[in-house]
Amino acid sequence: MQKEYVFYDTVGIDFPLDEAIELVKSPCHGDFLVSNDPEAEAIIYAPEINFYLQHSRDSIANKISTITKLYAIRALGFDFAQDMDYAQEVGNKVLIVTDDESLEALKAELRDEDFTVMLLSPSTILDVNGHIGSLHVTLKKEDELLELECDQIIWWNAPLFAMKQSGVYDPALLGLEGALKKLRDNKGEYHYKNFINYDPSICQYHERRTEICGKCAEVCPTVAILKEDETKHLAFSHIDCHGCGGCVSVCPSGALDYTQMPRIAFAHLSESFKGATALIIPNKMDLGLIDIPLREGVLPLMIEGEKYLHEAHLLNLLQTSGNPIIFYTDFISKGTGDVIRIINEIFEKKYHKKAIYVCEDSADLARIFESMESFPECMYGINEDGLRKREIFSARLSHLVDGEDLGVVKTGEHVHYGDIIIDESKCTLCLSCVGACNVRALTAHPEDNSLRFNASICTNCGYCEVTCPEKDCLSVIKDEMRLKPSWFSQRIMAKDELFTCIECGTPFATVKAVEKIAAIMTPLFGNDAVKLRTLYCCAACKPKVMFQAHMDNENKGLNL
C-alpha cells in the first residue's frame, strides 16, 4: 500500500523519518498526498518542511517528530476542507488597455497564439463587470456608449473598479510575463474553488429590517460578496473570490467559515503545537527570504488565506501551545489586526507578556526570538466541535480571566464586542429582543419568567435595540469587553410575574404587559365596565365576555 507522504531528499538527511513517509532520492510521480518538494509529485506541496529542516535548531529526535507533524497538519487541512471544484469556460478574446502604441508587437504575438486581441485606450473605458470568461466592458466613443465583451483583460495600472473583477491582470503589478502567463494558463477552462462557507441563520445582515452589519462586503477586495439591499441577502461570486479570507476575520457571528481550513480543522491542527511556538506564514510569502536559524521549538504553519484568522483561532493556538504566536507577513487584514491588538492587551493585563508578534523580515524575526516569553499557565483545552465562533472565544477567554477583574478592553473598528442595558421598569418581557437575537445571547427562561443576556457571545450588532418596542428600554454599549466573570455568564435583565385571566385563571401575559395595555386603553373605554373587564382576560375569554354582555343586553331588551 502506497504511503500518503513523500520526502524527496535533496540534501542528504542523516536521520530516519517516520515510517509513514516515503523517502525518495529522485523526482517521482505517485498518488501521494503531501510532499516536501515539487519534484516529488503530490496533491499538496508543503515548502515549510524543507524550510524547517534547513533552519531549525531542534534536536534530531524533535526534528523527526516535527517533520511528521508538518505532514499531518497538511493532511488534516485536506481532510477537513469543505471546498468544491468549479470550472468556467474561457475563450480567446483578450482586451489590452494601454496608450502605448508600441504594444502592437504584443498584439501580433498573441494573435499568433490564436488569441483575438482588441486594444483600447484607458480613457475610453467607463466600467467593467462580469467575471473571467464573461467580462462586459462599457466604453464611450464619440459621445456614444458601447458594450464590449471579452474573456480576459490586460490593463497597465488598472483602476480599482477593474481589478475587482476576475480575469483582469495588471502588468505593472505582475510583470508582463506574469500577466501573459495568466492569460495562457486560463485559456480554455478556468478552474476555481469556493473559499467561503456561509450560514445565513446566524448572519447579522441576512433578512434584517435595517442594515446592522455587512462588514464582509465592505472588506472584500473584489466583487465576491455583494449586499442585496432590498432583500438583505448576501450574494457570493466564488469565481471572483481571491481566497484572502478577510471576510471571515470580520464576521462577528461566525456565519462565514474558511473552506480551506474550517474552524474545526484548525482546532485539531492546533494540537500539533502543544509546547511549540507557531510561526504563521501565508503561502504568498517567500520562505527563501527567511534566512535565520529557527529557535528551538518553533514550528512553521503555512496558511492559504493571509486574512482569515480571527480571535477564536488565535486564542486557541495560544492556549494550546502555551507560547506566543509569530505572524510573518507583509500584510495584516483589518479584522485580524483588530484581534491581534485586543488579544495582546488582554495578555498584557493577565500575564504582562506579549501574545502575538507581527514581523515581515528576518531581522524582526531574530529580535522576536530573543525577547519572546512562554506562558504555560494560560494552557487550556476545550472541545470546539459544534460551538460557534463567539462561543469558543467566550469559553476560552472566561478561563483566562479566571474570576479576576482585569478591567475593560476596547474593541476595534472591524471587530465588535459590547454589552446591553435594559431598563427593567420599562421591559414588558414581550421577548421581541430574543426573537431578534440569532446568536443566543438573549434568551427567555419560562422557569422563572426572566429575560437573560450573555454579553460574551453577543455580536454587538444592535438589532435587539432597533427591535425593542418600548421607548428607551434597551440600549447597546458598543465596543468594549469587560473582563470579569459576570461578562461571561447569563445575567437576568428583566423578570416579572405572570398575570392570570380573571375569567378562567389561565396565565396569559406578564403583569407589566397587562398593566401597560390597561393604562393605555382605560381612558378610551371610559366607564364601559365590560370592555374594561376584557383588559384582564385571556384571548379566549375576551370574546366570551363581550358576547355574554351582548346577550344579557338583548335579554334585558326582551324583558322590557
Q: What is the mean pLDDT of residues 491-517?
A: 92
- Separation of alpha carbons 291 and 55, rounded Å: 8
Q: Please indicate, yes or no, if residue 367 is contained in any of the structural domains.
A: yes
Pair (397, 265) in one structural domain: yes
Pair (63, 140) in one structural domain: no
- φ and ψ at residue 228, rounded to 5 degrees: -95, 95
Pair (167, 247) in one structural domain: no
The CATH number given to whatever domain includes residue 237 is 3.30.70.20
**Span 532-552, pLDDT tens digits:** 999 999 999 999 999 998 888
Per-residue pLDDT at 559 exceeds 80: no
- Separation of alpha carbons 411 and 86, rounded Å: 38
**Span 78-91, pLDDT tens digits:** 999 999 999 999 99
Pair (265, 355) in one structural domain: yes
pLDDT for 452: 98
pLDDT for 552: 86
* The domain boundary residue, chosen from 367, 401, 435: 401
Q: Please indicate, yes or no, if residue 452 is contained in any of the structural domains.
A: yes
pLDDT for 107: 86
**Three-state SS at 530:** helix
What is the β-pairing status of strands 277-282 and 325-328? parallel
Mean pLDDT of all residues belonging to the chain: 94
Which residue has 397587562 as its cell numbers? 514
Pair (315, 391) in one structural domain: yes
Pair (460, 362) in one structural domain: no
Pair (478, 528) in one structural domain: no
* The domain boundary residue, chosen from 237, 258, 279: 258
pLDDT for 560: 45
The CATH number given to whatever domain includes residue 106 is 3.50.50.60
Q: Please indicate, yes or no, if residue 24 is contained in any of the structural domains.
A: no
Q: Please indicate, yes or no, if residue 412 is contained in any of the structural domains.
A: no
Provide the phi-psi class of 433: left if phi over 0, else alpha when psi is between -120 and 50, else beta: alpha
Q: Please indicate, yes or no, if residue 510 is contained in any of the structural domains.
A: yes
Burial label, 7 (beta-carbon count in 10 A; 0-12, 13-18, 19+) = buried
pLDDT band at 1 (very low <50, low <70, confident <90, very high): low
Report which of 127, 131, 108 is spatially closest to residue 119, judged by C-alpha positions: 108
pLDDT for 411: 93
**Span 293-337, pLDDT tens digits:** 999 999 999 999 889 999 999 999 999 999 999 999 999 998 999
Cell (9 digits) for 436: 431578534
Residue range(s) defining the domain that contains residue 517: 502-558
**Span 46-59, pLDDT tens digits:** 999 999 999 999 99
pLDDT for 558: 58
Q: What is the mean pLDDT of residues 105-134?
A: 92
Q: Please indicate, yes or no, if residue 34 is contained in any of the structural domains.
A: no
Give me the number of domains the chain comprises: 5
35-64 in b/e form (b: 16+ CB < 10 A) is: bbbeebbbeebbbbbbbbbebbebeeeebb
pLDDT for 412: 79
